[in-house]
Chain A
Amino acid sequence: MAAPLKTFGRKVLCGYCHVLHKGLLCRIVASSPSSLVSGSRGYSAGSEEKSTHFGFETVPEGQKAERVYKVFENVAQKYDVMNDAMSMGIHRLWKDTLLHIMNPQPGIRLLDTAGGTGDISFRFLDYVQSQRDRQRRRAARTNQTVSWQQIAANYTSSDTGPGESRAVVCDINKEMLKVGKQRAEQQGYNTGLSWVVGDAEELPFDDNQFDVYTIAFGIRNVTHIEQALQEALRVLKPGGRFMCLEFSRVSNPLLSRFYDAYSFQLIPVLGEVIAGDWKSYQYLVESIRRFPDQETFKGMIEDAGFFRVQYFNLTGGVVAIHSGFKL
């Protein structure tokens, strides 16, 4: 009696294995205690769940976005202070350089992805405003004989702001956007700025909307970088520019040693002292090391469909600005 039962049982299990080998029932199988099944469970589970890096850890892809969200939720309040402390204020120069390379003309629309606290957008609005002022001064200089109508028009028009230029700050993290809005109020940016919650891999915008897409220190936190690049290509207008400011590979070996020592010894300590959060800043420096280097990332941007891709190394390669065009 036992023998036929055993063979019957084995047949059932073999039937199970058949279905297993299709690879779709691994989750159901995972709860089964049978050893025969567990061998195949190991096989099919590996083919189903992809994993990615979270700093030097390896985590399932579904989890990375969540964990990144928690990191930035924790650091949001002290984000700007920590930026200044970690980079000794140099991050302001990096962002200024990004704007100089972008050289935006008045009237364009900027999408600042992973914009968080709004640094890039504020600089963009300032830059565009000063360009407008310069153009108006130049027009006034050449227009020496002013008519009464023009003088009257000057009295009535009080456009000193950025004018038609628009900046949209998009971030997946509501805390960062909250901090950004507070800063905008404090610093007096009230026109030309919008705050949108959105995922860089799935932007809540239509096609061909923006002239410039920037992502500053955000793309290494994205789970699927290629998708983010595809989305960037989608929302840009023809002729639009993709710009990415990101930590990158230092080529100089001497500088690299100092940089590594500084990153791994000092930055988490600063994080603990100033923000009370060692692990987030450990994640930060680890994620920098896991990001591809300048040439690889340039290849990825080209594969996404951008043209004239080039990069500019800042501070010896600590930071690189990649730029590509949708032509």
Chain B
Amino acid sequence: MAVLLRGLRAGRALRGLSKVTVPVATSPHCTGVRRGFHRAVLLQVQKESDPDDSSSTTTSSSSSSSSYHQHYQAHPSESEPASSASEQETPTPNTSYTDQAGEESEDYETEEQLQARILTAALEFVPQHGWSVEAISAAAETLGLSSASAGMFTNGAGDLVLHFIAHCNAQLTETLAEQHNQVQLGQAEKKTTAEFLRDAVEIRLRMLIPYIDTWPQAMSILLLPHNIPDSLKHLSTMVDDIWYYAGDRSTDLNWYTRRAALTGIYNTTELVMLQDSSPDFQDTWAFLDNRINDIVNMANTAKQAQATGEAVVQGLMGAAVTLKNLTGMNQRR
């Protein structure tokens, strides 16, 4: 069942939305871009999933070239169904060529990898320039490219924010998978659901702390109409990941209610965090605690109400039968 869910999610990711918004009929255009990409691939793409590289998440994203949307899959075992399907399309001749220096120069990577590098470098300039094309231009210059190459990102600031979110989600998934492994190996204790959710949301929100001053700008960029589908997709996959590692294997209405609840908790906690000025955001974590307790209480209350309701109905039925007996209506003549 879990495998089915993962496969569904991977399929959803591969059929991801097109990121390059060009006001032109896309079908001939898509093949052209793919042709350009294949030419780039032929320029000796030789990087595989490199364990030394901290951005191991980006390599598997670059191999899934069929979708323009970069879907970050952190854990290698999880990315099997996704990347194996996409790797059949891209012939990566990484073993036949040897680079002289043994390191990656600009010619030996794909456009997507270069874009990922630029966006990662641009995160450093965000406190100064905000989430904007200027940050991307400044980053391009540090990488040795002209600042005009920021024009590659047709979505501009939206690309930068979505890249950051994908990066954070990938890190979160990695951390959760590690914790899961440790529990399985018996090195750590299994947490209760409430505790697990609380920790996961806290980990994820802590990644925003370096950019908390400019985060309102980022949120407003994510709410732009052309960014909403992508941002919703990132949010929903993140919530799905958290619930999966929390141990949720439900297949009924619970699946939807749980994810809706966690989405609500995450969004409201994020908003509280934006205007929180307590030391180390203690107020935010207290708010998060309360919301999670609310959800847990509501779940318990719902169960109790159901049990009570059943008991009440049984009582009423009993009273009705007694009445009928007393009045003699139950007898057969």
If A295-B28, A307-B111 touch, does A102 touch B151 (CB 8 Å cutoff)?
yes
How far, in whole Å, are A295 and B24 apart by their CA atoms in the complex?
Answer: 11
A241–B32 CB distance below 8 A: no
The answer to the question of A323 belonging to the interface, with a C-beta cut-off of 8 Å to chain B, is yes
Cα distance A179–B133 in the bound complex, in angstroms: 35
For residue A101, CB closer than 8 A to chain B, the reply is yes
Structural contact, B32 and A240, CB atoms closer than 8 A: no
| Distance between B109 CB and nearest chain A CB, rounded to angstroms | 10
Question: Could you tell me the distance in whole angstroms from the C-beta of A298 to the nearest C-beta in chain B?
Answer: 6
B114 at interface (Cβ–Cβ under 8 A)? Answer: yes
Q: Is B225 an interface position by the 8 A CB rule?
A: no
Q: Is the CB of A309 within 8 A of B145?
A: no
Contact (Cβ within 8 A) A211 B148: yes
Give the chain A neighbours of B36 by CB distance below 8 A: 302, 307-309
Tell me whether B114 and A108 are in contact (CB under 8 A): no
A104 / chain B contacts, CB cutoff of 8 Å: 148
Contact digits for B120-137, partner A, Cβ 8 Å, 1 yes 0 no: 000000000000011001
A239 on the B face (CB < 8 A): yes
Inter-chain contacts of B148 with A (CB < 8 A)? 102, 104-105, 108, 211-212, 239-241, 325
- The listed residue (B23, B25, B32) touching A312 by CB distance below 8 A is B23
Report yes or no: A238 in contact with B111, Cβ–Cβ below 8 A. Answer: no
Q: Check if B53 is an interface residue, CB within 8 A of chain A.
A: no
The smallest C-beta distance from B153 to any residue of chain A, in angstroms, reads 10
Report whether A323 and B151 are in contact in the complex, using a CB–CB cutoff of 8 Å. Answer: yes
Q: Does A310 contact B (CB under 8 A)?
A: yes
- A308 to B29, Cβ gap below 8 A? no
Answer whether A310 and B151 are a contact pair too, CB < 8 Å, given A108-B146, A211-B146.
no
For residue A308, which residues in chain B have a CB less than 8 angstroms away from its CB? 33, 36, 111, 152
Chain A 273-315, CB-CB to B under 8 Å as 1, else 0, gives: 0000000000000000000001100110010000111111100
Q: Is the CB of B29 within 8 A of A310?
A: yes
Q: Is A237 an interface residue (CB 8 A)?
A: yes
CB of A105 within 8 A of CB of B137, answer: yes
Asked if B39 lies at the interface with its beta carbon under 8 angstroms from chain A, I say yes
Q: Check: B263 CB closer than 8 A to any chain A CB.
A: no
The answer on a CB contact under 8 Å between B32 and A298 is yes
Shortest CB distance B292–A (Å): 37
Complex CA distance for A103 and B147, rounded to whole angstroms: 10
B106 at the interface (CB under 8 A from A): yes
Find out whether the CB atom of B149 lies under 8 angstroms from the CB atom of A105. Answer: no
Q: Is A327 an interface residue (CB 8 A)?
A: yes
Q: How far is the CA of A63 from the CA of B83 in the complex (A)?
A: 56
A60 within 8 A of B: no
Contact assessment for A310 and B146 in the assembled complex, using a CB-CB cutoff below 8 Å: no
Pairs A-B, 8 closest by C-beta atoms: A239-B145, A239-B149, A239-B146, A241-B148, A211-B146, A237-B146, A211-B148, A105-B137
Can you identify 7 A-B contacts, CB atoms within 8 angstroms? A105-B134, A105-B150, A108-B147, A239-B144, A241-B149, A307-B40, A309-B36
Besides A309-B33, A325-B149, A327-B111, 16 new A-B residue pairs in contact (Cβ under 8 A), listed by A number = A103-B150, A103-B151, A105-B148, A211-B146, A239-B140, A239-B146, A239-B147, A239-B148, A239-B149, A308-B33, A310-B22, A310-B33, A312-B24, A313-B24, A323-B151, A327-B114
